[in-house]
Each structure stands twice: as structure tokens, then as C-alpha cells.
């Protein structure tokens, strides 16, 4: 069996490795102490294509898949778990969900911006009473005046404080378990969107983990 990576992924691996060694590693300790990764990391990551891994090339991304994401995560996590967490959550959760299930209008509006950075996409599923059991979530979404009003609380949301958009899972039908849940793109600055104090974690402290 042949396990070697294809050439384009080897190049991706080398790019992520060099970035992690030369830029991330010397700064990781400071970011951990500050409990905040400098914005510049996300500017540079955007320039290198690390914020648009799943984003199609027509929207300014790399059009890559899960294997590329795993390779990048491995290279970043070797030097800084917080950087790996922030970049992986942005690509795989927030940005990935918009790419997977968003409308064409949402793709055009958000994917080019998110692939460029430095603002990220956060993803809000977990609630104070449910994590693994996601179908038990109680955040509600109600149609009002031609739009939607969301009410509820989310917990442990990665990069909520540096997100341009938050993808929020909410219940559109009181019944129906997982089938009554939809995802909404909520913009930073939306009235009523309140971000709490970041968790004081034991590790990965540069990545903010926030109640919403």
C-alpha cells in the first residue's frame, strides 16, 4: 500500500510546517500568557491560505479537504495547541458549515472574507446543559417581521470574540429532536448578541473559549 501524500498536499504540509516553526513557535508562550493570540497571526494565516482550506478557489480559498486540514492541524499543534484549535475550528466548524449548507448568497457574502481573515467564523452548538447530546439544545429561533429572532445561551464557543460571524444552531420546532434544528449565520454586532468572559482554561489559553 502506498501512504505517501500527493504532491500538492506535501507542499501544503511544508508551508504549514515552516509557518509553525518560524512564526508560531517563537510566539506561542506569550500568547498563552496573554490568553490571546495576536491578530497578526490570522492576517498571515489568511495570506498563506490557512483560513480558507475548504473554501472553493472561486471564493479565494484553497478548495482542499479533510486530509489537508488534518495536516495543517498537526503542524500547528506541534508548536501551539491554541493556534491549531482556533484555525481548525474556524475552517472545520464555522467556515465549513457555511460552505456545506449555506446559500449561494451566503457563500458570496462570507466565504471570501473568511478565507482572507483576520476575522474568523465561530460555531455555536454547545449549551450549558448539553454538549455531546446536541439534539437536546433549547436555543429557539422564531420567525418575526420577515426575519428570525434567536433566544438562548451557548457555551465554550471557540473564537467568539474574534468572529465576524457566528453559525448558531437553534430550534425552529419545539418538537422533532435533531430534525427541528436549523443553523443561522449571525453577524458580529447583531443587537442582543452578548459575549461573556472567556473561560480560564488549563491549556490552549491563547484561543478564547466564550459563553454567548
- CA-nearest of 163, 170, 192, 186 to 106 is 186
- Residue (132 or 145) nearer to ligand FAD, CB: 132
Q: Does 156 bind ligand FAD (CB under 6 A)?
A: yes
Q: Which residues pair with 127 in a beta bridge?
A: 130
- Residue (64 or 126) nearer to ligand FAD, CB: 126
Q: Does 145 bind ligand FAD (CB under 6 A)?
A: no
Phi-psi region of 139 (alpha: psi -120 to 50; beta: other; left: phi over 0): beta
Q: 3-state DSSP call for residue 149?
A: strand
Residues 6+ apart with CB under 8 A from 78: 20
Q: Of 27, 126, 171, 183, which lies in the binding site for ligand FAD, with binding defined by CB under 6 A? A: 126
Beta strands in the chain (DSSP E): 120-124, 140-144, 147-151, 157-158, 163-171, 181-187, 209-210
Q: Does 123 bind ligand FAD (CB under 6 A)?
A: yes
Closest CB to ligand FAD: residue number: 131
- Binding segment for ligand FAD (CB under 6 A), chosen from 12-20, 60-68, 118-126, 179-187, is 118-126
Please report, as residue ranges, which positions from 176 to 205 form the binding site for ligand FAD (by CB under 6 A). Answer: 204
Q: Of 53, 95, 120, 124, which lies in the binding site for ligand FAD, with binding defined by CB under 6 A? A: 124
Q: Does 86 bind ligand FAD (CB under 6 A)?
A: no
- Binding segment for ligand FAD (CB under 6 A), chosen from 69-77, 101-109, 117-125, 186-194, is 117-125
Contact 96, 53 (CB under 8 A): no
- Binding segment for ligand FAD (CB under 6 A), chosen from 8-16, 98-106, 128-136, 187-195, is 128-136
Contact 52, 111 (CB under 8 A): yes
- Residue (91 or 209) nearer to ligand FAD, CB: 209
Q: Of 65, 131, 176, 177, which lies in the binding site for ligand FAD, with binding defined by CB under 6 A? A: 131
- Binding segment for ligand FAD (CB under 6 A), chosen from 41-49, 76-84, 97-105, 127-135, is 127-135
Query: Per-residue b/e over 20-59, b at no fewer than 16 CB within 10 Å?
Result: beebbeebbeebbeeebbeeebbebbbebbbbbbbbeeeb
Contact 180, 173 (CB under 8 A): yes
Q: 3-state DSSP call for residue 51?
A: coil
The site for ligand FAD (CB under 6 A) is made up of 89, 93, 123-126, 131-133, 156-158, 204, 209
Amino acid at each position: 500500500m502506498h501512504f505517501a501524500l500527493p504532491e500538492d498536499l506535501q507542499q501544503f504540509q511544508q508551508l504549514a510546517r515552516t509557518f509553525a516553526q518560524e512564526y508560531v513557535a517563537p510566539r506561542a508562550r506569550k500568547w498563552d500568557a496573554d490568553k490571546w493570540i495576536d491578530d497578526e497571526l490570522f492576517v498571515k494565516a489568511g495570506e498563506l491560505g490557512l483560513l480558507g482550506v475548504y473554501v472553493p478557489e472561486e471564493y479565494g480559498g484553497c478548495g482542499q479537504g479533510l486530509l489537508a486540514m488534518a495536516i495543517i492541524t498537526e503542524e500547528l499543534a506541534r508548536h501551539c495547541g491554541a493556534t491549531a484549535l482556533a484555525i481548525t475550528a474556524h475552517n472545520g466548524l464555522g467556515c465549513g458549515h457555511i460552505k456545506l449548507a449555506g446559500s449561494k448568497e451566503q457563500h458570496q457574502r462570507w466565504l471570501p472574507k473568511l478565507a482572507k481573515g483576520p476575522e474568523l467564523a465561530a460555531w455555536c452548538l454547545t449549551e450549558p446543559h448539553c454538549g455531546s447530546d446536541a439534539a437536546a439544545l433549547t436555543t429557539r429561533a422564531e420567525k418575526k417581521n420577515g426575519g428570525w429572532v434567536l433566544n438562548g445561551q451557548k457555551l465554550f464557543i471557540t473564537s467568539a470574540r474574534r468572529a465576524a460571524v457566528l453559525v448558531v444552531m437553534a430550534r425552529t420546532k419545539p418538537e422533532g429532536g435533531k430534525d427541528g434544528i436549523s443553523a443561522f449565520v449571525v453577524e458580529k454586532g447583531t443587537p442582543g448578541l452578548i459575549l461573556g468572559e472567556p473561560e480560564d482554561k488549563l491549556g490552549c489559553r491563547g484561543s478564547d473559549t466564550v459563553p454567548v
